[in-house]
Amino acid sequence: MSVRNPSDFRKEIDLRQDRRQWLKTSATLLGASVLPMPAESTEAAPQPQSTPKAPPRHAHETRSLARFFTPDQHALVDELTETIIPEDSHSGGAKAARVTDFIDKTLRETQDEDQKRTWKEGLPLIDSMSHHYNGKSFLDASPEERVAVLTVLSENERMAGLPEVKFFKDLKHLTVIGYYTSKVGIHDDLQYKGNRVLQEYVGCDDPAAAKT
Amino acid sequence: MPEPEVDLSKTYDAVVIGSGAAGGMAAHVLTGKGLKVLLLEAGKKLPIEQELRSMEWPYDNANRGFLPPDSHSLNFNEYTIRRPPYGPGFEKSKHLHSYIGSGDYTKNIVVDERENPYTGTNYAWVRARCLGGKTNIWGRLALRLSDYDFKAKDRDGYGENWPISYSDLAPYYDKVDLYLGITGVKENLDYLPDSIFQRPTKLNCAEVTLKQGIQKMGRVLTQYRAGVTSDGLKHNKYRSRCYGRGACSRKGGCDIHAAFDSPTGLIYPAMDTGNLTLRPNSTVRELTVDPTTGKATGVHFIDSQTMKDYHVKARVVIVAASTLESARLLLLSKSRQHPNGLGNSSGHVGHNFCEHVMGPGITGRAKDLVGKPPTLDDGRPGGFYLTRFRNLKEKHPKFIRGYGFEGGSGSTMFPRGTDAPGFGAAFKEEVRKNHGAYVEMGGFGEVLARYENHVDLDPVVKDKWGIPALRFHYKFGDNERRMCEDMKETAKEMFEAAGFEILHVNDRMLTEGWSIHELGTARMGNDRKTSVLNQFEQSHDVKNLFVVDGSAFVNASCQNPTWTIMALCWRSCDYLVDEMKKGNL
């Protein structure tokens, strides 16, 4: 399946039609590569059934058994959050800000079972979509191909009842919170000037002068 | 932790119930005049600096500054679709807080809703049971009322006038200004009198643009008049001057106490006189009276933690538990002489309940500022106050009274504009370029004092301490709805006049109670048949009973109430001491 330009999706995609296709095909196409469900409790987390293609991104960390994401899922969420807020010439993106760790902690600790379910269902759906549109998993897809998948969801945000749209909205929400409360977001990206002792608040005496 | 033993065998000159703005002020004035005062606070004395941590970065906080995940704070939707008590349905959460308890810095300051249930109509009731109460986290907007408020009935025929004029209170506003510190700019407005201001903070560029834009409409935007000391207070060793550190806009307080709070501003200095005894963890359940004279004799209170019951005697009882809690306490104190509750021969206790309506507001963008290098915009206690302009000179055809707007502009630690659509590099760049260019403001309008808006005691539901809960019978009316319609329109026309790009106009009214400005449940007046207190906040029925918080207000005006609560309280306590010396109490 050839990669389509994200702008094409806006014209062509009827998400409700399309999803029927990829939901039908995803089971046979994906087989074992559908991501395993994450651990529900703090008991031993199930290990991925297939060998990860790459070592987990943060394999050097002491991984708590209580992590919400499996290593495969962690790698997928890393790429999803980076697609939401990518590194650019100005500053690091969601990966540099360790947004996945923030989301893992949030989901691990939340009492909102609905939110946990949204993520458990959403991650495999994203991979199914990537297979449908790109012919490969989200991790194997190029940045442009990843953008194409999320564009389908972003353009259809009003279909809030669909689990993948619900997932996308929460993914964006948590990525935004995680990023803009991080060192990278506050200092590198926004270059926030406050939260320090000042002798005088500078303010503005003449907006006309400030325009130039 | 058990409370230090308080001598409950002695008769105090005065017992003060509540340690917020009103109770703190009563303690300050009375101990300064040599009275031996016992101050009872239902909540704990928190290690407040450890709670507020004003300069903590979000990434250094386990929950990025948000409420821990085992707790929940009610949101607008939940306040709308549910009915009080709000506890049921949130059993999974370890703690349930009002909407203001949504941050890690306020979670121990506001109460747990389940321990403190109430019933009746929808109401977002924010309560802070701890030393200092809500002054630990207040919005700091410190405004005076004027005769447009005190004599509002003379202007439009509605409701009652206050039994005082601005000239009665002006000297006490001055005292509050000088003792606690306030920053702002003189505007010479008869409807919003100036305070004795310390060094003002400046407006930022978009705010100056708005100020200039609305000048031709005859409207006034002024620097946020904040109850914050910008020059410092030589007489107070517990408070520092404001260092513009920023993060003032997050829900929380000021851990260097540049912003006024009752403990450092009033209570600790009162303790230094040697005349104040403080007992936290003391939930007052009833005011007691002498069975023969009907005068107040003291209070019954429960140790909030050990649940042990105590009684303490006092020559004067001063109720300062907050507007709704004070009304509750009067209604709880039924006796043979006072069958409807203490000081309630008028039947007005709990009635004429009023506040400020919130919700309508606007978000816009100053296009000139888009893409400009980042500036510091929140290193100050507040942005701007756009003063009342309705029903001053001309009568509005659709509603009486007025409203003002609170607002601000520019960069904040967590950026505005992250609700923009899309994702990816373009989204990231848009947030970065625009977040310093946002301007926002929201209205605060007077809710008319109406007899039928009231609270009473729930016949069944009780709080954790076995005390009957408050039941609400309170709704906004047509005047508020029409006023909110107008707020939305004028917000739009003013942003247009300033040349801002309008991004969002909000016309939704927030839940009753959202302003946290509840007032009027034991109003003052000259007629004892239609009011609870006289002009010195003294009960018409019980000479040695004073109610010195927001419940004494006759109307809500549209200005924020804290500074008026404290000025009134100071005036009443001066009177109290004079009367006591004359042997009249």
Residue A152 DSSP label: H
B-contacting residues of A 170-189, CB under 8 Å? 172, 176-178, 180-183, 186, 189
**Which residue ranges in chain A fall short of pLDDT 50?**
1-12, 27-64, 212
Q: Distance between CA atoms of A15 and A6, rounded to whole angstroms?
A: 14
Cα distance between residue A8 and residue A24, in whole Å? 23
Element (H, E) at A172: helix A163-180
Residue of A nearest to B241 (CA): A199
Cβ–Cβ below 8 Å for A189 and B428: yes
DSSP assignment of B466-511: SPEEEEEE----HHHHHHHHHHHHHHHHHHHHTTPEEEEEE-PPPP
Q: Is B484 within the bounds of a domain?
A: no
With an 8 Å Cβ cutoff, are A200 and B423 in contact? no
Do A43 and A19 touch, CB atoms closer than 8 A? no
User: Contact A203/B70, CB-based, under 8 Å?
Assistant: no
Task: Count CB neighbours of B446 within 10 A.
Answer: 29
Q: CA-to-CA distance for B30 and B575, rounded, in angstroms?
A: 10
* Mutate which: B53, B64, B428, vs A, most A CBs within 10 A: B428
Residues of chain A contacting B428 with CB distance shorter than 8 Å: 85-86, 88, 93, 189
Which residues, in sequence order, are CB contacts of B202 under 8 Å at separation 6+? A201, A202, A203, A204, A205, B223, B380
Residues 92-131 of A with CB under 8 A from B: 93, 102, 106, 109-111
* Residue pointed to by tokens 């924010």: B126
* Whole-number Å distance between alpha carbons of A171 and A83: 11
Q: Which two tokens stand for residue B239?
A: 């408070």
B493 falls within a domain: no
CA distance A32 to chain B (A): 30
Using CB atoms and an 8 Å cut-off, which of residues 188-207 of chain A contact chain B?
189-207
| Contact state of A84 with B427 under an 8 Å Cβ cutoff | yes
**CB contact (8 A) between residue A195 and residue B418:** no
Residue B201 lies in a domain: no
Question: What's the confidence (pLDDT) of residue A45?
Answer: 39
In a domain, B92, yes or no: yes
Decide: helix, strand or coil at residue A22. Answer: helix
CB contacts of A206 in chain B (<8 Å) are 208
Interchain pair A111, B69: CB under 8 A: yes
Dihedral (Cα; B240, B245, B247, B253), 10-degree rounding:
-10
Residues of chain B with pLDDT under 50: 1
CB-nearest to B423 from A84, A196, A206 is A84
Question: Smallest Cβ distance to B246: which of A93, A195, A203?
Answer: A195
DSSP structure class, residue A161: T
Please indicate whether, in this complex, the C-beta atoms of B432 and A90 are within 8 angstroms of each other. Answer: yes
Token code pair at residue B240: 């520092």
* Per-residue pLDDT, A47: 42
Cα dihedral: A49, A54, A60, A66 (round 10): -30
Partner residue facing B246 (CB), from A86, A182, A194: A194
Q: Identify the pLDDT of residue A206.
A: 77
Q: Which letter, b or e, does each residue of A159-194 get, where b requires 16 or more Cβ atoms within 10 Å of its Cβ? A: eeeeebbbbbbbbbebbbbbbbbbbbbbeebbebbb
Give alpha helix (H) positions in B260-343: 262, 268-272, 323-332
Contacts of B375 in chain A (CB under 8 A): 193, 202
Give A59-109 pLDDT, tens digit per residue: 444 444 589 999 999 999 999 999 999 999 999 999 999 999 999 999 999
Q: Supply the ipTM of this predicted assembly.
A: 0.92
Q: What is the pTM of this model?
A: 0.91
User: What does chain B come to in residues?
Assistant: 585
Taking the C-alpha atoms of residue A56 and residue B347, their distance in angstroms, rounded to an integer, is 71
All residues of chain B having their beta carbon less than 8 Å from the beta carbon of residue A211 are 368
Domain presence at residue B123: yes
Question: In this predicted model, what pLDDT tens digit does every residue of B406-421 receive, in sequence order?
Answer: 999 999 999 999 999 9
- Interface with A, mutate which of B423, B430, B432, B435 (most A CBs under 10 A): B423
Domain assignment of residue B61, given as a range: 47-128
The answer to whether position B133 is within a domain reads: no
Q: What angle do CA A146, A147, A152 make, to 5 degrees?
A: 105
A–B CB contacts, 8 A cutoff, strictly below: 134
User: How far apart are the CA of B92 and the nearest CA of chain A, in angstroms?
Assistant: 7
Q: Assess if residue B137 is contained within a domain.
A: no
* CB distance B322 to B18 below 8 Å: yes
Residues near B259 by beta carbon (within 8 Å), at least 6 away in sequence: B138, B140, B226, B227, B228, B242, B248, B253, B381
Provide the shortest C-alpha distance from residue B128 to chain A (in Å).
25
Q: At what angle do helices A71-84 and A113-134 cross, to 10 degrees?
A: 80
DSSP A87-146: --SSS--TTTTTHHHHHHHHHHH---HHHHHHHHHHHHHHHHHHHHHHSS-TTTS-HHHH
Do residue B418 and residue A106 have CB atoms under 8 angstroms apart? no
* Angstrom distance (rounded) from CA B334 to CA B331: 7
- What stretch of H or E contains A208? helix A207-211
Residue A32 forms contact with B (CB below 8 Å): no
Instruction: For residue A195, give the nearest of B70, B377, B413 by CB distance.
Output: B413
The rounded distance, in Å, linking the Cα atoms of B288 and B290 is 7
3-state SS, residue A15: helix
pLDDT attached to residue B101: 82
Contact A74, A102 (CB under 8 A): no
CA distance B38 to B30: 11
Measured CA to CA in angstroms, residue B13 lies from B38, B263, B300, B329, B585 at distances of: 8, 21, 16, 20, 11
First-to-final CA distance of chain B? 37
Contact B201 A183 (CB under 8 A): no
Closest CA in chain A for residue B409: A203
> In 3D, which of B233, B237, B231 has the Cα closest to residue B271?
B237
Residue B69 lies in a domain: yes
B201 to chain A: closest CA residue: A201
Closest alpha carbon to A186 in A73, A113, A116, A92: A92
**Cβ contact A201:B248 at 8 Å:** no
What is the number of structural domains in chain B? Answer: 1
For residues B35 and B14, give the distance between their C-alpha atoms in angstroms, rounded to a whole number.
7
Chain A: closest CA distance from residue B460 (Å): 31
Q: B96 to chain A, minimum CA–CA distance in Å?
A: 13
B3 burial (CB, 10 Å; 0-12 / 13-18 / 19+) is middle
Distance CA B522, CA B354 (A): 11
What pLDDT was estimated at residue A16? Answer: 64
Contacts of B246 in chain A (CB under 8 A): 193-196
- Kindly report the number of other CB atoms within 10 A of residue B274's CB atom: 10
Chain A residue numbers with beta carbons less than 8 Å from the beta carbon of B379 are 193-194, 198, 201
